[in-house]
A and B are shown apart, each in its own frame.
Chain A
Amino acid sequence: MARAGTIIVGTGQAGFQTAASLRMEGYQDPITLIGEEPHIPYQRPPLSKGFVLGKQDAESIELRPAAFYKDHQINLLNGETVVAISRPEKLVEIASGGQLSYDSLVLAVGASNRKVAVNGAELDGVVYLRSLAEAILIKASLEKAQEIVVVGGGFIGLEIAAVACILGKKVTVAEALPRLMPRVVAPLISEFFHDLHTAHGVKILCGAAVSEIVGAGGRVQRVVLADGSSYPADLVVVGIGILPNVDLAKGSGLPVSNGIAVNEFLQTADENIYAIGDCAEFPSPFTGSRVRLESVQNAADQAQSVAATIAGHRSAYRALPWFWTDQFDIKLQMAGISAGYDHVVTRGNRESQKLSVFYFKANKLLAIDSINRPADHMFGRKILAAGVPVSPQQAADESVDLRTLANTSPQHDAHTAGQ
């Protein structure tokens, strides 16, 4: 009997990489890659950066050209939706009609924008950014709009604020919490970016919860904050996080928590079904807890891990998380997960625009955030991945060479490096 092969649901970075990595692993069975978006798989990071600025276009952000899928016998069904999974028969049902069989099923179904829940949220000119279609809308809107209010001072909000500012717009950012990117970076980094945006003319409002969006004739006019203050806007970009797409998994009886629940092999409760990327909650060896991460690194490395397992080289997922954001001419590079830190030390300082923050919990190094100190970031990735012990005193002491520490790797078999 012919093998049914692997069905991958989702054509984002995780879905694409699973298909590509399966072929690199020598997998010979059929591969079907199914995604709702009309476009062939593309990179999302440029959408909030070079794409809206006009430095990159839809073609230049394609992960691979269309011929790649044919050349590698990957059956790409874009513009198609999987509506149900029948686990006993190992079938998926697709919206255009019909059923497809699988031996292995990979859910790389991503996430959806969290919607702002205030009056006026449905007005024209209130937009979100996750997909290429949304980025095209924002790019077109920015050609006419002059006054932009960004709701949410996280990565997406701040990247779009920077882009709109570079395009000459009057930009206000409203963040509900007391500082920028509060859940992911130390106050020192928040302050650095607060200063950076302010210096370029972006108005940053922290502790600024939106209470209402007011419009006329169905079109946005201003944003009202909880304190009653009001900011005129002809475009409102909302970046207040994403919610994992769990309905398909839930509908087929798979356990779901803050994401589709998987084990260290990224397998759901059904051993033939995997979940990876933004939608998956997995046990992290770096935090000792279950986490769900939203990043290119996580998507690509989990895809690689799942592809190896499906191809017969069962592989537990242990890659070190890393992340970046570009705002104006500054790149923030992040290694590890800082959540739960109780102490930070630094190298460099804000004044020199060269700064690394080392996050510790009970004197164990958790994470490093770096601005214009790329060697700290890269050697930090090696150090964190290998579990090399670094004390706060060593981290704060510039005379301690991170390269030397990175190359000691005493527990090299404990955490395999992500690269």
Chain B
Amino acid sequence: MPKVIYVSAGGASREVDVPVGTTVMAAALKNGIDGILAECGGVCMCSTCHVYVDESFFSKLPPAQDTEEAVLEIAAEERKPTSRLSCQIKVTNDLDGLIVRLPEKQR
């Protein structure tokens, strides 16, 4: 099963096994990663599952759709070139070892 590594704003790192097809957001909630709030439940209406994707993985992700692009504009923490919404990242075998860094705040 692919692994996803969540790195908190403080630098603490947690490695989680994530079934293929599960989103990085859903896996965070299920595994008690507190830096992901996911208030809208994963429908691209809030920005509270914002993550910074590690550069080595960023290019492996399908590009963000218009809806996600727009939501990233209202993120509580600065949008960076590797910003994504974790509700839109579905884990695949190709993403095994994916590292996402969590912003200091989500709202």
A residues apposed to B, CB below 8 Å: 17, 24, 43, 45-46, 60-61, 63-65, 67-68, 71, 296-297, 300, 304, 322, 324, 326, 331, 333, 374-375, 377-379, 381-382, 403, 406, 417, 419
Contact of B43 with A45 in the complex, beta carbons under 8 Å: yes
**3 closest A-B pairs by CB:** A374-B70, A378-B70, A374-B67
Stretch at the interface among B24-32, B86-94, B95-103: B24-32
B70, A296: Cβ atoms closer than 8 Å = no
The residue on A at minimum CB distance from B73 is A378
CB distance from A388 to the nearest CB of B (A): 14
The answer to whether B41 touches A68 (Cβ under 8 A) is no
Assess whether B47 is in contact with A419, with CB atoms less than 8 Å apart: yes
Do A374 and B74 form a contact, CB below 8 Å, given A333-B45, A419-B47? no
Residues of B within 8 A of A374 (CB): 44, 66-67, 69-71
A205 to B91, CA, bound (A): 43
**Chain B 57-79 residues near chain A, CB threshold 8 A:** 66-67, 69-71, 73-76
Residues of the A chain whose Cβ atoms lie less than 8 Å from the Cβ of B43 = 45, 324, 326, 331
Task: Determine whether B107 belongs to the interface, using a CB cutoff of 8 Å to chain A.
Answer: yes
What are 28 contact pairs spanning A and B, CB under 8 A? Answer: A17-B39, A43-B41, A45-B40, A45-B41, A45-B43, A61-B41, A63-B29, A65-B30, A71-B32, A297-B46, A300-B39, A324-B45, A326-B43, A331-B43, A331-B67, A333-B45, A374-B66, A375-B66, A375-B69, A375-B73, A378-B70, A378-B71, A378-B73, A379-B73, A382-B73, A417-B74, A419-B75, A419-B107
Nearest A residue to B40 via CB reads A296
- Chain A: interface secondary structure? helix
Known: A64-B29, A71-B32. A375 touches B70 (CB 8 A): yes
B39:A296 contact, CB within 8 angstroms: yes
Residues of A within 8 A of B45 (CB): 322, 324, 333
A276 to B67, alpha carbons, bound, how many Å? 29
Bound Cα distance A333, B29 (Å): 25
Query: Which residues of chain A have C-beta atoms less than 8 A from B41's C-beta?
Result: 43, 45-46, 61, 296
Contact of B74 among A64, A68, A324, A378 (CB under 8 A): A378
Main secondary structure of the interface of B (DSSP, over half): loop
Number of interface residues of B (CB under 8 A): 23
Residue of B nearest to A20 (CB): B37
Interface centre among A43, A296, A374 (most CB of B within 10 A): A374
**A379: chain B residues within 8 A (beta carbon):** 70, 73
CA distance A64 to B45 in the complex (A): 19
Report the separation of the CA atoms of residues A297 and B47 in the bound assembly, to the nearest whole angstrom.
Answer: 12
Write out the residue numbers on chain B whose beta carbons fall within 8 Å of the beta carbon of A378: 70-71, 73-74
Q: Are A67 and B69 in contact (CB under 8 A)?
A: no
Is the beta-carbon distance between B30 and A381 smaller than 8 angstroms? no
Query: In this complex, what residue of A is CB-closest to B43?
Result: A324
Contact status A419-B70, CB under 8 Å: no
Q: How far is it, in angstroms, between the C-alpha of A381 and the C-alpha of B46 when the chains are bound?
A: 11
Residue of A nearest to B76 (CB): A419
* Minimum distance in angstroms from B102 CB to a CB of chain A: 13
Min Cβ gap A359→B in Å is 19
When the two chains form their complex, are residues A304 and B71 in contact, meaning their CB atoms are under 8 A apart? no
- Inside 8 A of B32's CB, which chain A residues have their CB? 65, 67-68, 71
The minimal Cβ–Cβ distance linking A305 to chain B, given in whole angstroms, is: 11
Which residues of chain B are near A297, meaning CB under 8 Å? 39, 46
Q: Which residues of A contact B70 (CB under 8 A)?
A: 374-375, 377-379
Given contacts A374-B66, A375-B69, 7 further A-B contacts (CB under 8 A): A24-B34, A63-B29, A296-B39, A296-B40, A375-B66, A378-B71, A382-B73
A331 to B46, CA, bound (A): 14
In this complex, what residue of A is CB-closest to B72?
Answer: A378
Cα(A322)–Cα(B47), bound, Å:
13
